[in-house]
A and B are shown apart, each in its own frame.
Chain A
Amino acid sequence: MKALCWYGTNDVRVERVPDPRILNPRDAIVKITLTAICGSDLHLLDGFIPTMKRGDILGHEFMGEVVDVGPENKKLKVGDRVVVPFTIACGRCYFCERQLWSACDNSNPNAWMLEELYGFSGSGLFGYSHMMGGYAGGQAEYVRVPFADVGPYKVPDGLADEQVLFLTDIFPTGYMAAENCSITPGDTVAVWGCGPVGQFCIASAWLLGAGRVIAIDREPERLQMAAARNKAEVIDLTQADVYEKLKDMTGGRGPDACIDAVGMEAHGNTIGDWYDKAKTATMMATDRLGALRQAIHCCRKGGTVSIPGVYGGLLDKVPMGAAFGKGLTLKMGQTHVHRYLPLLMQRIERGEIDPSFVITHRLRLEDAPDAYRTFRDKKDGCVKVVLRP
């Protein structure tokens, strides 16, 4: 089959590789009908995530048709049309039972690596480095899905691939980020980053009862999407002092909740941003955190900072004093996709939201290497790329 493989920083290629097969009793094989490139895949392209190996197949947002099931998989049948959560969960451990699916105890074959780094290991992920399990991803024609009697969710007839594909990651990720803000009616939510996850944060904040949503970015097309499609007020960070502007917009109080939908590769132009750039460029730091610093700084007293943006390592100059001094609540983590999938599928069925609005580029799997670069460089108005094998 054809698959998008990683060969090093800035080096991804579509190669011919063997087809996947059932390896464990609860597995299934899915023939991919639609897959996407995630903003977090760019951290892999840019070499920010350790424990990648040459030839690893990328991709963790994918859906398709079941073509084979393992002997212990009593839930799926050949022919089922499914979306697959990017987090892999066994469904039977302490954490899965408590709906903390991305903290599954049993799905990461390389758990010891993450234990060295983080103390304890979360669940395995598709196509996202060996410390996250080393599972082959779904930017391919076929994929093997472990614990497929738990993760894959059947798509109701009448919904198109493009409407449900983002239930695999970015829609639940944006939704969980908004839910983590504990929004009460009328709250003001500020969202840093108007990429695909940021757009779903905005849309979800509305769904959960926010009174105002303010979106912050520096890319005109993304701000345009946030304003026109998602009805957010917007701040172009290249044109305004974000803190002053937010203060003005909120009567001097600050937003009730701030969402950092940017993560470890923030771009900004404050002194802190240049400091991070210098440190990461010289391998002295692992993450750039301009968005997080600003979110903590701008948040009102007693407010919540919610972090769906991915961080990987040790962060420097985190304004812990501000977070403490204002009594902030910080919430973060990999998305518990399984928890949100059924409820968000219902919202799509009822027509409350059509997630396909983020798609700007529809390409073939063969075009993936170019699509990665277009997406990374935010050229051509690129917000979200979907690939059809």
Chain B
Amino acid sequence: MNMELTFPEDAREGRVRSNRNLSGFERWASIVAGAGLTAYGMSRLKNNGWMYAGLGGLLLRRGVTAHCDLYEAFGINTAGDAGDTRAALRGSRGVNVLESVTINRSIEELYRFWRNLENLPQFMRHLESVEKVTDTISHWKAKGPGGTTVEWNAEIYNEEPSKLIAWRSIEGSDVVSAGSVNFDNAGPGRGTRVTVNLQYSPPGGKIGARIARLFGRDAATEIREDLRRFKQLVEAGEVPTTSGQPRG
């Protein structure tokens, strides 16, 4: 089974994109260094401090706009093209999660449940809602950091009934993500193996993902718990809970 996400030739190739060409890390490095250099220069203006302050200002601007004129001149781009799912998630970029679970239900039933993406928030805890726009395009709302909500549009770009569903965020979305789910027969009387592959470019890049892991919210764990809830929901008809029960 090929678990790699494959992106078919994109018709929108070559469309105008944002002019960002700096990665998240480089942006913040520029802002911090720029601010420091500016402050240093301002404190000693008489001794050629204006030169430091000016350089600091340029760095600051580079960071804030996420655009570097020099990089543009030399054709360098470290931004991972936040607008383009293909570029953002290509190779080892972004966070890549693979988890699977075996469920005591038929392939057809599980496929139907998942193909209706509006069902996903029932077991994916970070999702607030998924609304159908067309048969293949949907609008996703998720809980962002600090109580914010992030929204994006996604399209199903590959589907094989009772086998595979693959989706990705549409170009230009704030959130860059892609996912696929595979269904296969686990053997006679053994149910269906459901394998989910998720890729996304996390806020703060890979460093952000590492920091998130320190706080116990790494993506693999989240997806594993999501899949567990999916299994509980379709097998047992409910997700077990104790919240709301009495205690002393």
- Give A contacts to B, CB under 8 Å: 1, 3, 5, 7, 13, 15, 17-21, 23-26, 53-57, 72, 88, 90-94, 97, 105-109, 111-112, 124, 133-136, 144, 146-147
Q: Which of B32-40, B136-144, B229-237 contacts A (4 or more CB under 8 A)?
A: B229-237
A358 to chain B, nearest CB (A): 28
Q: Whole-angstrom distance from the CB of B247 to the nearest CB of chain A?
A: 4
* Number of interface residues, chain B, beta carbon within 8 A: 24
Are B235 and A17 within 8 A (Cβ)? no
Are A135 and B245 touching (Cβ within 8 A)?
yes
In whole angstroms, how far apart are the Cα atoms of A344 and B235 in the complex?
Answer: 29
Q: A5, A21, A25: which contacts B237 (Cβ < 8 A)?
A: A25
19 CB < 8 A contacts A-B: A1-B246, A17-B246, A17-B247, A21-B244, A24-B240, A26-B237, A53-B247, A57-B248, A90-B235, A90-B236, A94-B190, A106-B232, A109-B239, A109-B241, A109-B242, A111-B228, A112-B225, A124-B240, A134-B242
- CB of B64, distance to nearest CB on chain A (Å): 41
Query: Which applies to chain B's interface (DSSP): helix, strand, loop or mixed?
Result: loop
Output the residue of A7, A19, A93 with the most chain B CB within 10 A.
A93
Residues of B within 8 A of A88 (CB): 240
Q: Determine how close the nearest CB of chain B comes to the CB of A93; give it in whole angstroms.
A: 5
Contact with A along B189-212 (1 / 0, CB 8 A): 011000000000000000000000
B169 smallest CB distance to A (angstroms): 29
Asked whether B235 lies within 8 Å of A146 as measured between CB atoms, the reply is: no
Q: Kindly provide the distance from the CB of A139 to the nearest chain B CB, expressed in whole angstroms.
A: 11
Q: Enumerate chain A residues within 8 angstroms of B248, measured Cβ to Cβ.
A: 3, 5, 7, 13, 15, 17, 54-57
- How many A-B Cβ pairs are below 8 Å? 89
Contact A24–B247 (Cβ < 8 Å)? no
Query: Is the C-beta of B104 less than 8 angstroms from some C-beta in chain A?
Result: yes
Task: Among B224, B237, B244, B246, find the residue whose CB has the most chain A CB atoms closer than 10 A.
Answer: B246
Complex formed: what's the CA distance from A106 to B104 in Å?
11
Known: A17-B248, A55-B247. 15 other contacts (CB 8 A): A7-B248, A19-B246, A20-B246, A23-B241, A23-B244, A23-B245, A24-B241, A26-B237, A56-B248, A57-B246, A72-B238, A92-B236, A97-B104, A106-B231, A135-B242
Q: Which residue of chain A has the shortest Cβ distance to B238 in the bound complex? A: A24
> CA separation between A15 and B248, bound complex, in Å?
6
Residue in A closest to B101 when the chains form the complex, CB atoms: A105
Q: Please give, as numbers and ranges, the residues of chain A lying within 8 Å of B47 by CB-CB distance.
A: none
Q: Which of A1, A91, A105, A124 has the most CB of B within 10 A?
A: A105
Taking the closest CB of chain B, its distance from the CB of A356, in whole angstroms, is 30
